[in-house]
């Protein structure tokens, strides 16, 4: 009998109607569809594990699809270019790009672009990348051979409405499918069906408890996934029992809420103090700290997670351990570079230890990311004078470098170079000011000397004139006496 895995609890259980709806919209010619729902509702899985496999098997009325998937991250325009096999940085010519992708495909072929977690466009992307990405998507709207499916967290719906992606005319409708948390019969099926497929029975009492607990927990599906995996390890006679589930809880939180946190805590306790510090830094770098909205996860290149001077073997050990324990995932992006991500966004709220880390490092981490953004912009401008930190910004950056968070979270080579270049520029400007002040001082001294010489010369001239007048007067007096 095969082991039960996290992939067995798939969010498309109970989602058949929504999968059918989305495919029907594609068949009807809709070319931009948004799948919107709260975190943990299964938006991404509905598309990746529900829609795409069905398209791969063939759908009547739709030709074969060339599927390209991306997440916006910090460089959405770059990832979009790579997804469409275009050189990054060049304006998108939609017809030419889609035509090239379909050049050697069969008749009726079309391109399906899946943009997962569009919220990253509003939380991570630089202004230039965001504008280029939005311009490219608008260009794709006019290409009938391309369809776009977008997943978006519901709490970013307002950001979508304020973006150029929102229809300009009132009569135009944004095609969207709203994915809510599974409830009732659909959630019951999401619990029972994968267990049944794995050859495991589930006590009816356990199903009812899970239904009750799930009603009060956000992000139900990721919690349910982890809970079912842990129950698999505790099963007796191929049965998931209520008693085993109750043993997962801590007396305050339900087994669902504890499942992810327990696995994370157990993993952390296996590390040495140094390794735990590496784990903390990795996890914090995989979170996009919200300003006015909730925190979200964010992918990072594997190369960006290791701090300068850090032991490579220790870093590799910690990263691999967290991947094995299903706290992190590593997948290659379009360019083939490994990118690391939190396994579940629900970890941000469900793992108390992570909540403590976030509170203690939020301000310093946000400052670090502003520096990273400034360094990236400076690098884009050629690492010259443009984009260097001003005196106040430099002072703040240097203070940040001395904090414990800076040591733990590290900094990129670009930030180090930006601070060094800004410091050098400030030193150069101070030397220039001192030179100018010195030159002005010398000019002032020279003027004073000239003035003093002039005064002395004038005094001497006056004295000579006085003596001459006195001599002349004396001579005149002598002449008068003789006469």
Q: What is the pLDDT of residues 164-198, one digit of tens each?
A: 999 887 667 889 999 887 777 888 888 888 888 87
> pLDDT tier at 6 (50, 70, 90 boundaries)?
very low
In a domain? residue 280:
no
> Is the same domain home to 196 and 164?
no
Read off the pLDDT of residues 330-356 as tens digits, 9 standing for 90 and up: 887 767 788 899 888 888 888 889 988
User: Of 264, 294, 313, which marks where a domain is finished?
Assistant: 264
Under the banding of pLDDT at 50, 70 and 90, the label for residue 472 is low
- CA-only gyration radius of the chain, Å: 35
Q: Of all residues in the chain, what percent carry a pLDDT higher than 70?
A: 84
* Strand partners for 361: none
For residue 441, being part of any structural domain is answered with no
**How many structural domains does the chain have?**
2
Residue 76 shares a structural domain with residue 149: yes
**Interatomic CA distance for residues 36 and 20, integer angstroms:** 16
148 & 63 share domain: yes
- CATH code for the domain of 130: 3.40.50.300
Per the domain annotation, does 482 fall within a domain? no
Residue 338: other Cβ atoms inside 10 A: 12
- Regarding whether 194 and 98 lie in a shared domain, the answer is no
Same domain? For 196 and 253 the reply is yes
Assigned domain for 283 exists: no
Same domain, 72 and 118: yes
For residues 382 and 432, the model is more confident at 382
Distance CA 428, CA 422 (A): 10
The average pLDDT across 445-472 equals 64
In a shared domain, residues 160 and 243: no
Q: How far is CA 155 from CA 36, 62, 334, 378, in A?
A: 9, 33, 27, 32
């Amino acid at each position: 009998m095969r082991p039960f895995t996290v992939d067995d609890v798939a969010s498309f259980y109970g989602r058949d109607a929504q999968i059918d709806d989305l495919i029907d919209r594609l068949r009807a010619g809709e070319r931009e569809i948004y799948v919107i729902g709260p975190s943990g509702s299964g938006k991404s899985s509905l598309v990746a594990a529900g829609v795409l496999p069905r398209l791969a098997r063939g759908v009547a009325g739709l030709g074969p699809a060339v599927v390209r998937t991306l997440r916006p991250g910090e460089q959405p325009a770059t990832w979009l270019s790579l997804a469409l096999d275009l050189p990054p940085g060049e304006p998108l010519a939609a017809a030419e790009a889609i035509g090239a992708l379909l050049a050697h495909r069969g008749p009726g072929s079309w391109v399906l672009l899946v943009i997962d977690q569009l919220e990253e466009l509003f939380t991570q992307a630089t202004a230039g990348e965001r504008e280029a990405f939005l311009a490219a998507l608008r260009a794709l709207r006019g290409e009938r051979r391309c369809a776009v499916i977008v997943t978006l967290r519901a709490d970013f719906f307002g950001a979508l409405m304020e973006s150029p992606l929102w229809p300009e005319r009132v009569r135009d409708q944004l095609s969207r499918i709203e994915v809510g948390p599974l409830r009732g019969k659909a959630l019951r099926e999401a619990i029972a069906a994968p267990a049944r497929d794995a050859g495991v029975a589930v006590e009816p009492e356990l199903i009812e408890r899970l239904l009750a607990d799930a009603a009060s927990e956000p992000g139900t599906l990721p919690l349910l996934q982890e809970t079912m995996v842990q129950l698999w390890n505790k099963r007796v006679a191929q049965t998931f029992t209520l008693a085993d589930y109750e043993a997962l809880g801590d007396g305050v939180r339900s087994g669902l809420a504890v499942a992810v946190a327990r696995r994370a805590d157990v993993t952390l306790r296996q590390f040495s103090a140094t390794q735990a510090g590496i784990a903390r830094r990795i996890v914090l770098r995989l979170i996009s700290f919200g300003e006015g909205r909730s925190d979200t996860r964010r992918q990072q290149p594997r190369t960006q997670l290791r701090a300068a001077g850090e032991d490579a073997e220790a870093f590799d050990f910690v990263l691999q351990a967290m991947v094995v324990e299903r706290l992190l995932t590593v997948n290659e992006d379009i360019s083939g570079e490994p990118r690391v991500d939190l396994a579940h966004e629900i970890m941000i709220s469900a793992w108390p230890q992570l909540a403590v880390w976030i509170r203690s490092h939020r301000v310093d981490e946000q400052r670090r990311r502003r520096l990273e953004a400034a360094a990236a912009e400076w690098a884009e401008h050629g690492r010259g004078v443009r984009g260097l930190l001003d005196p106040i910004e430099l002072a703040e950056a240097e203070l940040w470098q001395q904090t414990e968070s800076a040591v733990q979270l590290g900094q990129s080579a670009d930030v180090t170079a930006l601070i060094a270049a800004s410091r050098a520029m400030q030193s150069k400007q101070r030397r220039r000011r001192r030179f100018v002040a010195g030159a002005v001082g010398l000019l002032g001294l020279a003027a004073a000397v000239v003035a003093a010489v002039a005064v002395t010369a004038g005094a001497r001239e006056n004295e000579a004139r006085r003596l001459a007048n006195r001599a002349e007067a004396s001579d005149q007096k002598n002449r008068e006496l003789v006469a």
